[in-house]
Amino acid sequence: MQESIGLRLGSLTLDVPFFQASLSGYSDYTMRSFARRFGCPFALADVMLAKSMAEPRVLRKACFRPGIDEHPVGAQIMGESPAIMAKAARDLVAVGYDVIDLNFACPVPKVLRRGRGGALLARPKTVIDIVRMVRETVACPLLVKLRIGIDHDSASQDDFWEIVTRSIEEGIDALVIHGRTVEQRYRGKADWDTLASVKARFPSATIIGSGDVFDPQAAFERMRQTGLDGFVVARGAIGNPWIFRELRCVWENRPIPPPPDLAEQRAIMLEHFHRVLNGYPEKRAIGYFRKFIVRYARLHPSRKQVTTTLMKAESRAAVEAGIHALYGAGETH
Ligand SMILES: Cc1cc2nc3c(=O)[nH]c(=O)nc-3n(C[C@H](O)[C@H](O)[C@H](O)COP(=O)(O)O)c2cc1C
């Protein structure tokens, strides 16, 4: 399986053919740094609204961690105006992002109502105007994230193929395609056959698949079957940064290590919680961390007990005590 180059995103070369996807509300600096620690070479930050980047305060906040080395890191932007998207891309590159990713995939109703994200899949001309203007503005690797259409109707399929064809013609560095329609949201299985047909039609373009990447062996098997250049890990990485260690082993033809034991899970959970506490007041930190608890719990043999105990914890001390009780006591971080 091992090859010298994993994935080429324009001028950026990764040594493995996978990276961590943009995950709104999750893929913050902490989640990205855990991914990196376990072998992920590159990650995208949460999606940002392009027009908000015009406010210096918001742009400063988007500045991932000035002074802390997190490269390469990608910014994903969403918006419907080519000029505003191009300006946001330029500003985000200026504050240090290495890669720009354009979101034409988000299925959230509020986003769709405003004509952004996945809604733009019905407006190929606007998509291409955005792609062209951003491409003319930034020289860094440029990715386009999309789904396989608004729905399965033939008009939507025509729009999808037009966007794919013309984005490639405009010189983007890779397409990242989630194998579901906007209307499907996260229902059903991702359709990797359509992704394979994109690669078959554009063999020299870099096509990266997204959808249901949970099992390392299966992910590479799918990549081989479809001929795609790589894949992104999304839900499979929430509460499971160890997936990157496993993926790397498969890629390098090494045996997959056993899943993390309770002590290793405990150490990461505590470190994660403490990092969240550094960024938010206690109550908010606990609320935010709960989203991760339910995911971390999946690796615990008593998943239900972990969620019921830790979701009830309402103070820092109670969360810590719960983690120690459920995952065994030991050295803390
Ligand atoms: C909670 C959540 C937030 C997401 N946020 C984004 C986002 O901001 N930008 C994006 O392009 N995709 C986003 N996605 C989609 C994922 O990147 C990915 O394409 C999708 O989940 C399919 O992959 P999976 O089945 O392996 O999770 C999100 C998905 C989830 C579950």
Select from 19, 22, 145, 148 the residue to mutate for testing ligand 1; criterion: most ligand atoms less than 8 Å from CB. 22
Tokens, residue 272: 């994660």
The residue nearest atom 30 of ligand 1, judged by CA position, is 23
The residue nearest atom 15 of ligand 1, judged by CA position, is 23
Ligand 1 neighbours by CB, cut-off 6 Å:
21-26, 46-47, 76, 103, 105, 145, 178, 190, 210-213, 234-236
| pLDDT in the model for residue 332 | 44
Q: What distance in angstroms lies between residue 106's CA and the mean position of ligand 1's atoms? A: 8
| pLDDT in the model for residue 333 | 41
Residue 41 burial class via C-beta count within 10 angstroms: exposed 0-12, middle 13-18, buried 19 and up? buried
CA distance 333 to 92: 33
Residue 161 burial class via C-beta count within 10 angstroms: exposed 0-12, middle 13-18, buried 19 and up? middle
Superfamily of domain 7-251: Aldolase class I (3.20.20.70)
Residue 28 per-residue DSSP state: S
Name 159's Cβ contacts closer than 8 Å, sequence gap at least 6: 121, 122, 123, 124, 149, 150
Q: What distance in angstroms lies between residue 22's CA and the mean position of ligand 1's atoms? A: 6
Ligand 1, atom nearest to 190 Cα? 25
C-alpha atoms less than 13 angstroms from C-alpha of 184 in its C-beta half-sphere: 18
| pLDDT in the model for residue 2 | 52
Q: What is the value of pTM for the model shown?
A: 0.96
The residue nearest atom 16 of ligand 1, judged by CA position, is 234
The residue nearest atom 23 of ligand 1, judged by CA position, is 211
Q: What distance in angstroms lies between residue 21's CA and the mean position of ligand 1's atoms? A: 7
3-state DSSP of 265-306: HHHHHHHHHHHHHHHCCHHHHHHHHHHHHHHHHHHCCCHHHH
Ligand 1, atom nearest to 235 Cα? 27
Ligand 1, atom nearest to 105 Cα? 11
**Ranges of H-type helices in 81-181:** 82-94, 109-113, 124-137, 154-169
Residue for token digits 């082993």?
249
Select from 32, 210, 295 the residue to mutate for testing ligand 1; criterion: most ligand atoms less than 8 Å from CB. 210
End-to-end, the C-alpha distance of the chain in Å comes to 36
* Choice among 40, 63, 106, 249 that is catalytic: 106
What sign for the dihedral angle of Cα 322, 273, 215, 258? negative
What does the angle CA 43 – CA 46 – CA 51 come to, to the nearest 5 degrees? 130
CA distance 227 to 203: 9
Residue 66: asked if its preceding bond is cis (omega within 30°), the reply is: no
Q: What distance in angstroms lies between residue 189's CA and the mean position of ligand 1's atoms? A: 14
| pLDDT in the model for residue 64 | 64
Q: What distance in angstroms lies between residue 303's CA and the mean position of ligand 1's atoms? A: 23
Residue 106 annotated in active site:
yes
Q: What distance in angstroms lies between residue 318's CA and the mean position of ligand 1's atoms? A: 31
CA distance 283 to 303: 23
- pLDDT tens for the chain, 333 residues long, are 555 689 999 999 999 999 999 999 999 999 999 999 999 999 999 999 999 999 988 888 777 665 566 899 999 999 999 999 999 999 999 989 999 999 999 999 999 999 999 999 999 999 999 999 999 999 999 999 999 999 999 999 999 999 999 999 999 999 999 999 999 999 999 999 999 999 999 999 999 999 999 999 999 999 999 999 999 999 999 999 999 999 999 999 999 999 999 999 999 999 999 999 999 999 999 999 999 999 999 999 999 999 999 999 999 999 999 999 999 975 444
Tokens, residue 70: 């997190």
Tokens, residue 175: 């397409």
